[in-house]
Amino acid sequence: MADPAPVTTDPAGVSRTTTGEITAPPPSSPPTTPPTPAETTKSPTSSTEPAPVKEGEDGSLLNKDAPKEATGAPKEYTDWKVPEGFELDPEIKTEANALFKEANLSQEFGQKLVDFYVAKTREALNAPFEAYQETRKEWRAAAETDPDLRGKLGPGGEVLTTVARALDSLGDPKLASDFRMAMDTTGVGDHPAFIKAFYRFAQKLTEGSHVAGRGPSEFGQQRPTAPARTPATDLWPNLPSTSKG
């Protein structure tokens, strides 16, 4: 009986002859046992979810790291701050508080809305006055460049003097004072058309000046002690018979 061929084991654990034939089946791997539920369940090392918020018996938060809710409307709003000289209408204030409460606005945010309301209200109130002042400025500039008024509008000028004399000639100081105040208040006294029209009226009312008398004319009047004048004395005043009387 021949000796068996030498057998070697390859790195995979398979027995082979020198000619490469497998002499024995490779060793089988031990059966794997499925993991138990306990092995597949692992306790998390960390969690991204925030920890639940816990409250104490008095309602305070025990977890201080929990996010706090935004502050909403207070139980009652305090008085709103407004600039000096400005006053909120009581009815508007009541309506605003009700709207702020309904919107759950905080005192701080409500104050911002009040500040916005005050600023816009002031702008609306000042706009007509600023436009009125700008208009008067344009009227004065037009009057100063008008050919009929140029150089006559300053203090002591011809226009001012003539108009003042016409007002004083009314004989009613209070009426003259009230008229001047009306021109200043309404601004109509700055309009070039008004100035020119009133100036022309004033010129007609104050035209001419007082003429001082220098005694009776020798041609139209006679002295009380002189003899009656005759046609001859009027025709030949230098005749010797008529030159003395």
pLDDT tens for 86-121 read: 989 999 999 999 999 999 999 999 999 999 999 999
Helix (H) or strand (E) holding 23: strand 22-24
Helix axes 107-144, 192-205, angle to 10 degrees: 50
Write the CA distances from 219 to 77, 94, 99, 216, 245, integer angstroms: 99, 93, 97, 9, 14
**C-alpha dihedral sign at 121, 183, 157, 194:** positive
- The least confident of 77-81, 173-177, 217-221 is 217-221
The residues with which 24 forms a beta bridge, in sequence order, are 15
127 contacts 135 by C-beta, under 8 angstroms: no
132 or 31, greater pLDDT: 132
Residue 38: both structure tokens together: 């306990």
Where does a domain end: 112, 135, 158? 135
Where does a domain end: 135, 157, 186? 135
Regarding whether 149 and 96 lie in a shared domain, the answer is: no
Q: For position 154, what pLDDT does the model report?
A: 81
15 in a structural domain: no
Q: For position 114, what pLDDT does the model report?
A: 94
86/93 Cα distance (integer angstroms): 13
194 in a structural domain: yes
Q: For position 206, what pLDDT does the model report?
A: 76
Structural domain boundaries enclosing 180: 145-205
Q: For position 102, what pLDDT does the model report?
A: 92
182/185 Cα distance (integer angstroms): 5
175 in a structural domain: yes
27 in a structural domain: no
55 pLDDT band, cuts 50/70/90, is low
101 in a structural domain: yes
Across 56-60, 164-168, 235-239, 240-244, the highest mean pLDDT is recorded for 164-168
| Torsion of Cα atoms, 181 then 186 then 189 then 193, to 10° | -150
Q: For position 151, what pLDDT does the model report?
A: 86
Provide the mean pLDDT of the chain. Answer: 76
68/167 Cα distance (integer angstroms): 78
206 or 12, greater pLDDT: 206
Regarding whether 130 and 153 lie in a shared domain, the answer is: no
200 in a structural domain: yes
42 in a structural domain: no
Where does a domain end: 114, 135, 156? 135
Give the global pTM. 0.46
Q: For position 46, what pLDDT does the model report?
A: 47
Structural domain count of the chain = 2
Regarding whether 149 and 127 lie in a shared domain, the answer is: no
Regarding whether 131 and 160 lie in a shared domain, the answer is: no
